[in-house]
Structure 1
């Protein structure tokens, strides 16, 4: 299976460095895996210079956009690279901890023809498994005003609620997605960005890949949770405080995956006791 790994770097290059170091360590000499960093004008890309096999592409976006650019960037990258059998969407704050994780995801995807995506398990940097929907707010409240032209007057705003459908999507933090006709048509015509549906009886909101997941259901397709887990720090591009809280664990893992180090005690400390068996594989 020819796979393109796509990750979006949004001013979080130290995490992206760990992602690449761990990915290449656990998947050496994989000629059928191409890794592309889609960068939003980060200022410290020299940190990635030690990965000559990795392609770094500027997206045209910066780190200052108020709306999420993740889905649009992934959509453009997929449409520009149609030759792959599958795409591995992976957040830049992920660390691979087991040999052959990508091969295992590919085997699980191949084994079920009706499965359009396989999502890895989310392991925190403390070594605990986390459900992507844990602690999610069930409802959001919106107050908005829409005008039909730049010179039109703003009408009075309307208010409505949206049910948050976080448990109704494959999560892009680490998901291998089959590149077939249904997927490509959905990417082209619907996209991968968050989406909201307004309705008097209660609107709904889906995060990145959420609407894709719903459309794929209309094709009789589903996604599945893998047996494989990866460390996912989570939300480091949204909050500088959260990123700083997790930096020490990130740096311990980064030291373990440095060219001068093997996977010894530093890696064990970095991912927590629950992940020690995986780092030994």
Structure 2
């Protein structure tokens, strides 16, 4: 097994008017995972204050690119931007692709190494993800974790380390990573970002695995949902972590 320092890992995150969150992601990724490879931040023409995020990107060598979308795009562009990263010819030689959400914070050391080690223990897996926490200390409540969209039915792109195989790249090229709607008899079923690709990978005998690692995931800060009332609480926690990381 190649060590994390030897393996070529390329990470990608999308900033959608979430620059303070993306700053936290950048700082915590590199602080908690020393020797990490490279990170690309695709920005959806964000109009919030990006200055501190840009400072963090410069400090840790993260690349900022415009995605080609903006914050008024009516459809969630997340999966399409992730696909763009995978299919960029410059990334074809990566050993692994690490997908990240802007509202993730690494609160424990060595998370990426743990994901890689879990992948290498199980050759039939195509990707590995951590367990998720709202506070960065304890896993989310069992009733929330039981949601099949979190762990069971898809590799959640909040934090997903994926083998950059020819098969995976072909699935991304042919199927993509965007959400999809199945029109069934009498009902419609929405497949969230990365779920359809996870389903297709399973048809090739390639499953995903959840490693013994924990991250903070704030959930739903880019696009509003029923939990939007919790954003002030989430932002207060974010700002406390930022203060700690900025001061070292």
What's 1:51 paired with? 57
Partners of 2:168 and 2:143 lie apart in 1 by 24
Unaligned runs of 5+ in 1: 138-163, 262-281
Question: What pairs up with 1:34-49 in 2 under 5 angstroms?
Answer: 34-43=38-47, 44-47=49-52, 48-49=54-55
What's 2:140 paired with? 130
Change (3 A) 1:128 1:99: closer
TM-score, with normalisation over the residues of structure 1?
Answer: 0.77
Question: What pairs up with 1:1-281 in 2 under 5 angstroms?
Answer: 1-30=7-36, 33-43=37-47, 44-47=49-52, 48-52=54-58, 53-80=61-88, 81-125=91-135, 127-130=137-140, 134=144, 167-200=152-185, 202-239=187-224, 241-258=229-246, 260-261=247-248
Unaligned runs of 5+ in 2: 1-6
3-state SS, counterpart of residue 50 of structure 1: helix
TM-score, with normalisation over the residues of structure 2?
Answer: 0.86
The size of the alignment, in residue pairs, is: 232
Partners of 1:131 and 1:176 lie apart in 2 by 24
Contact 1:2 1:84 in 2 (8 A): yes
Give the root-mean-square deviation of aligned CA atoms: 2.2
Contact 2:27 2:56 in 1 (8 A): no
Largest Rg, 1 or 2: 1
